[in-house]
Structures are given as C-alpha cells and as structure tokens.
Amino acid sequence: MRQREEIPRDSLIYVAGHQGLVGSAIWRRLSDAGCERLVGFSSRDVDLRERSAVDQLFREIKPDIVIDAAARVGGILANASEPADFLEDNLRIQVNVLSAAQRFGVQRLLFLGSSCIYPKFAAQPIREDSLMTGALEPTNDAYAVAKIAGIMQVQALRRQYGVRYISAMPTNLYGPGDNFSPTKSHVLPALIRRIHEAKNTNAETVTIWGTGTPRREFLFVDDLADALVFLLEHYDSPEPINVGVGIDVTIRELAETIADVVGWNGNLVFDETKPDGTPRKLLDVSRLNELGWRASTSIQVGIKLTYDWFLSNQSKMRGK
C-alpha cells in the first residue's frame, strides 16, 4: 500500500451524477468524512451530454476533485432494447466531463466504470487484465464499449497531460436510492419490487427471466462509496481496479433471500425461454484487498436496508 494521501477536507469536489444510486452514496460518504464543499447538479440543471454546458460548469465552479458517477444505466431489458442510446449518451457524458476536467486544471478525478466491460466468458473470478481479451455479453455490449472508452480516455489523459485520473470497476450495485422501475431497473431492485407486490396481492408465484442458475456478485452501494474514497486516497495508477465483495450467488438464491426479507412465501417460476445473460460474473478483488480495503455489508443485511428504504420512499422513488 502506498502512503495515504488524504483528501483535503476543504477541496471543492464535484460529484457528477450526485442524485443517482452511486452519486448519492458518494455524497453521503464524503459528507460523513467532513468534506463540506460538495457540488452536484441535476440533469435538468446541466445536460452533461452537451459540451458547451459542461465547459461552462467547470469554468464557473473550478473543482479540485471530480468523481464521475454520471451515466445512463439500466437493466438487461433497457440495454438490449436501447443500445444506441446507451452507447451515445455515455460516450458524450464521459468525453465532456473528462475533457473539461483536464482543460480546466482538475488534477484528481475518479471515473466509474462497470464490470460489464469484461468478456462474457472471462476466466472467473475476473481479473483486471481480462479487459479486451474476448467478446462482450451481447445484451449490454453497447454500454460496455462506452465504459471501455472511458477507461482508455483516463489512460490517455494521464499519458498526455500527467493528470492523476483513475478508473474503478464496480460489480453489480444495489442499495438506498436504487431504481425500482418495472422495465428499466437491475435484477435486485426489480425482484424486491415484484416480490413486495406479490406479497401485497397474495400472489402465489413470481416469474423470473432465465433459468435462475447464472451467478452474480452484489455490492452494497455504501460499501462502494467507501471504497471509492479509499481509492482516491490510496491509489494512483492508469490500470482500472475492480471493486466488489469477492462472493457471488445464483439468481435463484438472490430471489430466495429477497423473498425471505420481504416475508413472501410463494413459489418462484423461472422462464427458461428468456435470456440468462452472462453465466457468471465474479470480480477478482485481490488488488483492492491488498491495498487494505474489503466490503463489510453482507447481502442479507444490504437487502434488508434496501427494502427498508423502498418501504419508506415508495411515493417519491425513481421508477415508481
């Protein structure tokens, strides 16, 4: 582990995407650490897809540190049905934010990628050096290509300008502030909503896409936020670094855990005519562990915290 370089608590930190699942968790973590000069803007205030708007933002606020958690995100259905939008929007956001950061003198930046950047059949657990060694999962390849481009932009800016920009690749995320939309959410919040509704309507079954056998790793979003602050203080390398828990579960096991937390005793039905996606996606987090960071929230505890938030925020949550 290199010597810790603490984030100056008087730094002006711009959190792009601060109202999203990840951005809001980062905001909470930085606030808890005593960082008081945090800035963030909604998409209504600043459209990060527009270069002139992003340039004007950086010109006005002059941030010391940027955390780029802004992205167009969605589950398997949204990615498969809107690939052009996912590719174009994410490319534009990344290019605009990273380019403006360099041109307006930001020396420290963290770019947030995704574990979907790795090949569909990468050796498990997936090491960082698996990047671009095989074909991507077709259901989210457009989003993955955009995120790969973001990693390359970080590396290119480091080489050309000497800036201290880094990339972190989180596994599947969940937690307070998630998107529970019936059509655009990821698997874990989607299952929480559907199983909750099954309980409320006394439904005997819940149908789930696929066979239930694919294995997925899930990281509680507040653990991710803690890891990202840790990386800003301990990591300075062009190579992307994985962020996860190092443990995975099957989709069936995930649904059973959610049903137990929700208190629903019906039957899970798996529609094998629908796609499974990648058979397994578990990140190798040994590099992060060696630096001194490990996730602390179990999936059972994380799901309980997420469900509690869901129950308290149904009237105002995204995707209602």
Annotated binding site: 17-23, 112-115, 147, 170-173, 186, 194, 209, 216, 276
- 294 three-state secondary structure: coil
218-220 vs 108-112, strand pairing mode: unpaired
Cα–Cα distance for residue pair 109/97, rounded to 1 Å = 10
Q: List residues forming the annotated binding site for substrate.
A: 194, 209, 216, 276
* Active-site residue, 165 included: no
Kindly tell me the sign of the dihedral angle through the C-alpha atoms of 299, 125, 110, 235. positive
At 247, list the tokens. Answer: 């443990």
At 209, list the tokens. Answer: 């896409």
Query: Cα separations (Å) of 176 from 124, 214, 294, 303?
Result: 29, 25, 20, 10
Cβ neighbourhood burial of 291 (10 Å; 0-12, 13-18, 19+): middle
At 59, list the tokens. Answer: 């010109």
Of 143, 165, 174, 307, the active-site residue reads 143
Specify the DSSP element, H or E, that contains 221: helix 221-234
Q: Looking at beta carbons, which pairs linking 310-315 to residues 24 or more positions away fall under 8 Å? A: 310/180, 310/189, 310/192, 310/193, 310/196
Cβ neighbourhood burial of 269 (10 Å; 0-12, 13-18, 19+): exposed
In angstroms and rounded to an integer, the radius of gyration of the C-alpha atoms of the chain is: 19
Within 13 Å of residue 270, how many CA atoms lie on the same side as its CB?
14
Cα–Cα distance for residue pair 168/36, rounded to 1 Å = 24
Query: Cα separations (Å) of 189 from 145, 195, 255?
Result: 25, 10, 11
Q: Which residues are catalytic?
A: 143
